[in-house]
Amino acid sequence: MIKKIILWIAVIALSLTIFDFSAKPAAESAGISSQIAEKVIEFAEKVVKIDDYQREGVLYTMHLLIRKGAHFLEFALLSILVFFLAKSYKLSKKISIIIALGYCLAFAASDEFHQLFVSGRSGQISDVLLDFCGALFGALICYLIVKIGEKKKNKA
């Protein structure tokens, strides 16, 4: 019972966190990922020389990777949490994956729709696809974890 409560709290908390990130105006959202990109570049400059011309391109690329990587990873984690929440109700692997992917796809689509109403933001189908790819990756991880657990259980 406590496991279910913890999983419910984790799914709700992550969903609210994603929603909160999406509610930030474009300038604020870009500022956060730009700060992270700056830190990464400062670290890289300790190892590799980056001139001013290259720095602008590297900063742009790093900013993009951080933003898109965050989309991918947050939905991978959401998929994993929803999968294990579904499994905690003794549902099959297949049904748990379908629930996890369905929830993530619906949430990604509604999140991008929500962004249509946020200053400077726009809903992007490409972001829904990226989020769903993250969810697929998370579901794959879950499938492999369960499969390995089943093999170990069968050997014992």
Element (H, E) at 48: none
Q: Which residues contact 109 (CB under 8 A, 6 or more apart)?
A: 128
Residues 125-129: what's their mean pLDDT? 95
Domain segments of the chain as ranges: 2-28+73-155
What pLDDT is attached to residue 54? Answer: 81
Single out the residue of 42, 43, 27, 38 nearest to residue 62, CA to CA: 38
Q: What is the mean pLDDT of residues 124-150?
A: 95
Q: Give the N- to C-terminal CA distance of the chain in Å, as an integer.
A: 26
Q: Which whole number is the average pLDDT over 51-77?
A: 88
Angle at the Cα of 70 from the Cα atoms of 69 and 76, rounded to 5 degrees? 90
94 versus 62: the higher-pLDDT residue is 94
Q: What is the dihedral of CA 21, 84, 109, 65, to 10 degrees?
A: 50
pLDDT band for 114, please (50, 70, 90 cuts): very high
Distance, CA of 114 to CA of 29 (rounded, Å)? 15
